[in-house]
């Protein structure tokens, strides 16, 4: 059975593509420290949960390093390389989705949360039933529920899971440090909502 082709690799903005088409051949442009490779597993994990497919995740990580290498001169030594790389990954993923327009995350973080602002506190009491459902969810349930979230809701949960600090999350997601906690709490709340459809 043939698998549906994936499109992420075809969705890079033209301007970036023209500049970094085969950057591995441009020796002089590689100014990133070797430690950038230390983050590849983490980038791949997050990319995998953002894209939902191994091959798309590989493409997204490739694209992330491609952009990072092309923009290496803009990286300031001593600043947070991890947050910088993940910000590039997030932007590359959003660029791809905006072009594909096949995913419910088009609207990004704000649009996603605009539709879910009533999920915190004002909802009816959750209790043992939800707890039991959560205990019954399996990997595929969690991945499916994550996939139903907006890009930044998904990203903030995944990056938090990778051990990002509030400052790193703010830097990666391009928001104020003061809003990180509430964003994360809202994202987790929405994820729980989605998980109600799974487990039993």
Partner 1 sequence: MDCTEERIHLLDRRRGTLTGELRARVASHLAECEACRREDDVDRELSLALHDRLPKRRAPEALRRSIERRLVGEPLRVSRTIRRTPMALFAAAAFVAVAAAGAIVSWRPLGADPMLAEAVNDHLRVVYSDHPVEIESGGIHQVKPWFTGRLDFAPIVAFAGDDEFPLQGGAVAYFVDRKAATFIFKRRLHVITLLVFRSEGLPWPVLAKHVLGGARGTLESSRGFQVLMWKEADLGYALVSDVPPADLQALAVKIAGGT
Restricting to residues 108-167, name those near partner 1 by CB under 8 A.
120-122, 125-127, 130-131, 134-135, 137-139, 142-143, 157, 161
Count of residues touching partner 1 (by CB under 8 A): 67
Q: Helix or strand or coil: residue 139?
A: helix
> 97, 63 in Cβ contact below 8 A?
no
Place of tokens 């999920």: 119
**Residue 170: closest CA among 102, 101, 109:** 109
Give the C-alpha separation, 170 to 60, whole Å. 21
Interaction of residue 170 with partner 1, rule CB under 8 A: no
Q: Which of 14, 76, 101, 176 binds partner 1 (CB under 8 A)?
A: 14
Q: How many CA atoms lie within 13 A of 138 on its CB side?
A: 2
Residue 92 Cβ vs partner 1, minimum distance, rounded to whole Å: 10
Q: Does 10 bind partner 1 (CB under 8 A)?
A: yes
Q: Which stretch binds partner 1 (CB under 8 A): 21-29, 76-84, 106-114, 148-156?
A: 21-29
Distance in angstroms (rounded) separating the CA atoms of residues 176 and 166: 9
User: Would you count residue 73 as binding partner 1 (CB under 8 A)?
Assistant: no
Q: Which is nearer to partner 1, 78 or 121 (CB)?
A: 121
Instruction: For the chain, count helices (H), then strands (E).
Output: 10, 0
Distance CA 197, CA 200 (A): 9
Reported residue count of the chain is 200
Q: Which stretch binds partner 1 (CB under 8 A): 2-10, 75-83, 104-112, 170-178?
A: 2-10
Binding site for partner 1 (CB under 8 A): 2-7, 9-10, 12, 14, 16-17, 20-25, 27-28, 30, 32, 34, 36-37, 40-41, 43-45, 48-49, 54-55, 58-59, 61-63, 65-66, 69, 120-122, 125-127, 130-131, 134-135, 137-139, 142-143, 157, 161, 181-182, 184-185, 188, 191-192, 195
């Amino acid at each position: 059975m043939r698998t549906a082709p994936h499109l992420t690799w075809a969705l890079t903005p033209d301007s970036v593509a023209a500049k970094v088409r085969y950057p591995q051949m441009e020796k002089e442009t590689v100014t990133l420290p070797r430690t950038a490779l230390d983050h590849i597993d983490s980038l791949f994990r997050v990319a995998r949960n953002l894209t939902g497919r191994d091959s798309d995740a590989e493409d997204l990580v490739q694209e992330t390093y491609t952009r990072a290498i092309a923009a290496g001169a803009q990286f300031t030594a001593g600043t947070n390389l991890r947050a910088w790389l993940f910000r590039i990954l997030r932007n590359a993923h959003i660029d791809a989705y905006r072009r594909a327009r096949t995913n419910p995350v088009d609207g990004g973080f704000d649009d996603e949360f605009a539709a879910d602002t009533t999920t915190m506190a004002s909802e009816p009491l959750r209790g043992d039933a939800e707890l039991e459902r959560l205990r019954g969810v399996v990997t595929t349930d969690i991945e499916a529920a994550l996939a139903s979230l907006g890009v930044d809701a998904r990203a903030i949960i995944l990056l938090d899971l990778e051990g990002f600090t509030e400052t790193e999350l703010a830097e990666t997601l391009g928001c104020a440090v003061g809003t990180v906690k509430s964003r994360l709490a809202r994202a987790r709340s929405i994820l729980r909502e989605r998980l109600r459809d799974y487990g039993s």
